[in-house]
Structure 1
Amino acid sequence: MRAIQITEFGGPEVLRVAELPEPVAGPGQVLVDVRRAGVNYADTHTVEDSYLSRSSLPMVPGAEVAGRTGDGRRIVALTDNGGYAERAVVHEAMAHDVPEGVSDEQALALVVQGVTAWHLLRTSAPEGLKERLVEANGGRKVDVVLEMTGGPVFDASLAALAPFGRLVTYGMASRVPATAVRAEALMGRSRAVVGFWLAHCLGRPGMYREPLAELLALTADGSLKPQVGAVYPLEEAARAHADLRARRTVGKLALDTTR
């Protein structure tokens, strides 16, 4: 099968097309005929080995796939890398049926970004928190900030918080660390900083499948419209990463493994 494989860590230039053996599904796993592979900003960290979880070589990157199983089910799934390929193995627990009316690209926009947004608003910033904070603070300044850039943006966001405000950090797209947060600085204005990583939800019943089911249903009935971006041929994975890192893209990016 065709796949994108890396044999060294680095930037987009290390993403190369290779012919590899087809993966074999083990117990509790299914083999997916991949139609679209999601491109996530986290993939750029994985490829250079700067992500929260460490990478090993050689590796086929890509943690999001949409396609069909051998019995004809149309699914979207998370996988332990291996997604940038014509076929991938996924754990059954991480696979979710895609309803009619939802495209592969829309499903890929929901499986990581969508579920992350769901948890940022409902888990890390509890429902109703904004109203309680506004009431406690007299309606002034910022109550909740969802921040994924890091560096000066994190620092400025924290400084903008009102008393009892909460900053939820879920990424470091700038690759620049934020200034260390001191406990006394948080106490001095009764502020809170919360970290979020979707990986911690995957092993907890209800924290992955239920939010994704809700988001897919909302998309199917037209209530939610995921922002879909460019679709690149598989062999142009390096260009997709370069465009993403250069901030030239809008919406969910995907690789078309059929061309």
Structure 2
Amino acid sequence: MRALICTAFDQPEALTVQSVPDPTPGPGEVILQVEAAGVNYPDALMVMGQYQVKPPLPFTPGAEAAGVISAVGEGVTHLRVGQRAAAFTGTGAFAERLLAPATSVMPLPDAVPSDVAAGLPLAFGTSMHALVDRAGLRAGETLLVLGAAGGVGLAAVMIGKALGARVIAAASSEEKLQLCREHGADETVNYSEGDLRERLKALTNGRGPDVIYDPVGGDLAEPALRSIGWGGRYLVVGFAGGGIPKLPLNLPLLKGASLVGVFWGEFARRDPRANARNLARLLGWVADGTIRPLVSERYPLERTPEALRALLERRVTGKVVVTP
């Protein structure tokens, strides 16, 4: 089969497509014939050796995929050959076939196409875990989403609306903000123009947002945290802006607020049943149209480095996928 191979921790452009042996499922494993694989920021960090997990070299990047099960290993009873499914494996998805533990695979309803499903586990799983499990977001509360037009950001906008929140989407251009409005944002803020704190103060009548979803970090973190409402929850999701902020700890004290870490991958490993419940709820929302995930571009396997570069340069809206 063909697979994208990382032979050294380097820039995405160093990745190459190679012919490798077909995988064979062992006990408790399945083979997924990959129809689409989601492209995520951690994939790029992993390729460059900047992620908290460093796979042994050489390896095939790609954390999530969707397609059709082509083989099942001994002991797998809840999945069958020919069944449509999605999987989150952390690595291996940028290939024609993916070896996956059966516990990481979820069947797909016919109403959810593979390119949409391929982008659900990480981006939507992260946002679901963040807003439901970590923030306890309630109907009627105000949610601020930073980096709202990106993969996890747009997922947070849609999930926030599905949960009944008032959603303020913040992004760096009017084009991105229009996309957020099309996917349910009630209010928008262009943080490349004007004062973020003053805009949030005006939009919340001085109260501030109840929950802040931050996958960006960098220079946006402190003004956002200074804007949070009393008893608010600040979700630390990632640092796509490039810098890990150093926040004054008097700020959560003065607002009775909480800084809450979000590490979906570890949550999914430690509590797979709770993660499965979240993903099943998400699939239901996608199937009935409550949530409309955006797949903005599809890349062939050979152009995966381009997709990763676009992600690193924050030129991506919604989700992009690789179609081996």
TM-score by length of 1: 0.91
- Alpha-carbon separation, structure 1, partners of 2:40 and 2:133: 22
Q: Is the 8 A contact 1:6 1:16 kept in 2?
A: yes
After superposition, the Cα gap between the structure-2 partners of 1:131 and 1:66, relative to the gap in structure 1 and judged at 3 Å, is closer
- Alpha-carbon separation, structure 1, partners of 2:141 and 2:90: 39
Q: Is the 8 A contact 2:142 2:209 kept in 1?
A: no
Alignment of 1:18-167 (within 5 A): 18-70=18-70, 71-128=81-138, 131=141, 140-167=207-234
Alignment of 1:178-189 (within 5 A): 178-182=245-249, 184-189=250-255
* Structure 1, 105-114 or 94-103: larger mean CA deviation: 105-114
- Alpha-carbon separation, structure 1, partners of 2:56 and 2:105: 24
Residue-by-residue CA offset, 1:232-257 (whole Å, 9 max, x unaligned): 00010111111222222222111110
Match of residue 17 from structure 2: 17
After superposition, the Cα gap between the structure-2 partners of 1:2 and 1:111, relative to the gap in structure 1 and judged at 3 Å, is same
Q: Give the superposition deviation at 1:55.
A: 3.0
What code does the residue aligned with 2:316 have? T
Q: Give the superposition deviation at 1:180.
A: 4.3
> Is 2:284 the partner of 1:217?
yes
Q: Is the 8 A contact 1:108 1:252 kept in 2?
A: no
Q: Give the superposition deviation at 1:219.
A: 1.3
Q: Give the superposition deviation at 1:24.
A: 2.1
Q: Is the 8 A contact 1:130 1:143 kept in 2?
A: no
- Alpha-carbon separation, structure 2, partners of 1:245 and 1:143: 29
Higher-RCO chain (CA-CA 8 Å, sequence separation at least 6): 1
After superposition, the Cα gap between the structure-2 partners of 1:16 and 1:48, relative to the gap in structure 1 and judged at 3 Å, is same
> Is 2:317 the partner of 1:250?
yes
Q: Is the 8 A contact 1:39 1:255 kept in 2?
A: yes
Unaligned runs of 5+ in 1: none
What code does the residue aligned with 1:194 have? V
Residue-by-residue CA offset, 1:109-139 (whole Å, 9 max, x unaligned): 2211112111221111113386599xxx997
Q: Give the superposition deviation at 1:46.
A: 0.8
Q: Give the superposition deviation at 1:181.
A: 4.3
Match of residue 158 from structure 2: none
Q: Is the 8 A contact 2:230 2:256 kept in 1?
A: yes
Residue-by-residue CA offset, 1:211-231 (whole Å, 9 max, x unaligned): 111111221222221111101
RMSD between superposed Cα atoms in Å? 2.1
Match of residue 256 from structure 2: 190
Match of residue 226 from structure 1: 293
What code does the residue aligned with 1:55 have? P
After superposition, the Cα gap between the structure-2 partners of 1:61 and 1:235, relative to the gap in structure 1 and judged at 3 Å, is same
Residue-by-residue CA offset, 1:75-104 (whole Å, 9 max, x unaligned): 000113111101110111110111112111
Unaligned runs of 5+ in 2: 71-80, 144-203
After superposition, the Cα gap between the structure-2 partners of 1:127 and 1:163, relative to the gap in structure 1 and judged at 3 Å, is closer
Q: Is the 8 A contact 1:121 1:127 kept in 2?
A: yes
- Alpha-carbon separation, structure 1, partners of 2:272 and 2:48: 32
Q: Is the 8 A contact 2:226 2:251 kept in 1?
A: no
> Is 2:307 the partner of 1:240?
yes
Q: Is the 8 A contact 1:30 1:90 kept in 2?
A: yes
Q: Give the superposition deviation at 1:189.
A: 2.9
After superposition, the Cα gap between the structure-2 partners of 1:221 and 1:9, relative to the gap in structure 1 and judged at 3 Å, is same
- Alpha-carbon separation, structure 2, partners of 1:251 and 1:142: 23
- Identity over aligned pairs, percent: 33
Match of residue 6 from structure 2: 6
Residue-by-residue CA offset, 1:61-83 (whole Å, 9 max, x unaligned): 00101111121011000113111
Residue-by-residue CA offset, 1:143-178 (whole Å, 9 max, x unaligned): 210001111111221121123221001111122110
TM-score by length of 2: 0.73
